[in-house]
Amino acid sequence: MGVRTWIDSWPVYRQLTGTDPLGRGAAARSGPTARLTPRVASADRVVKSICPYCAVGCGQNVYVEDGRVTQIEGDPDSPVSRGRLCPKGSASLQLTTGDAREHHVLYRRPYGAGWERLDLDTAMDMIADRVIEARRAGWQWDVDGARTRRTLGVASLGGATLDNEENYLIKKLFTALGAIQIENQARI
């Protein structure tokens, strides 16, 4: 390191001779800090999304690199959250890429002590069988013994960040099934 470079490396020298007399900007910046780059700098694209955890629905920027999610941060363009995320939302990268994320259907039998893996078709058939059975067992009857078109055997509780279209389809589906207990977490 030459003498000149050595002197320039002193923050107090830069403060006294440079454009940062208060020493709160460039004068105080160290070499390692100057070489830092944002961890999202290498992302290929940014996808707008909504935090899935609660009814606030904070906006998120999802950074993608080589087809994989690499970082999730608050979206400054969101009128709801203006770039902010609470600790849960800030940790939602783990929801997409963390080791704890399940990629298979898991089933625990009644009185079972552990989880077993099912293929999706089997799981969907099991759900359909149970819906039909519960619906049939829960049909309501009027005082004359006639069956009404409602069942108490099926209910729906939606998540707060389901969008309008999803809620519309859920309402259609469950009403068609005869359910009358159709709620959403955002109203609770």
List residues binding ligand SF4 (CB under 6 A): 51, 53-54, 56-58, 81, 85-86, 88-89
Residue of minimal CB distance from ligand SF4?
A: 89
Nearer to ligand SF4, 27 or 51 (CB): 51
Given a contact cutoff of 8 angstroms between Cβ atoms, the answer to whether 19 and 34 are in contact is no
Could you tell me the smallest distance in angstroms from the CB atom of residue 87 to ligand SF4?
7
Nearer to ligand SF4, 57 or 153 (CB): 57
> Which tokens belong to 28?
């105080």
CB of 71 vs ligand SF4, minimal distance in Å: 15
Smallest distance from ligand SF4 to CB 54, Å: 3
Q: Which is nearer to ligand SF4, 54 or 152 (CB)?
A: 54
**Which C-beta is closer to ligand SF4: that of 18 or that of 158?**
158
Please give the DSSP secondary-structure letter assigned to residue 61: E
3-state secondary structure labels for all residues of 155-181: EEEECCCCCHHHHHHHHHHHHHHCEEE
Q: 3-class DSSP state for residue 97?
A: helix
85 exposed, middle or buried (CB, 10 Å; 0-12, 13-18, 19+)? buried
Q: Evaluate whether 45 touches 64 at the Cβ level (below 8 Å).
A: yes
Nearer to ligand SF4, 53 or 174 (CB): 53
**Burial of 160 by CB count in 10 Å (0-12 exposed, 13-18 middle, 19+ buried)?**
middle
Closest distance of CB 52 from ligand SF4, Å:
7
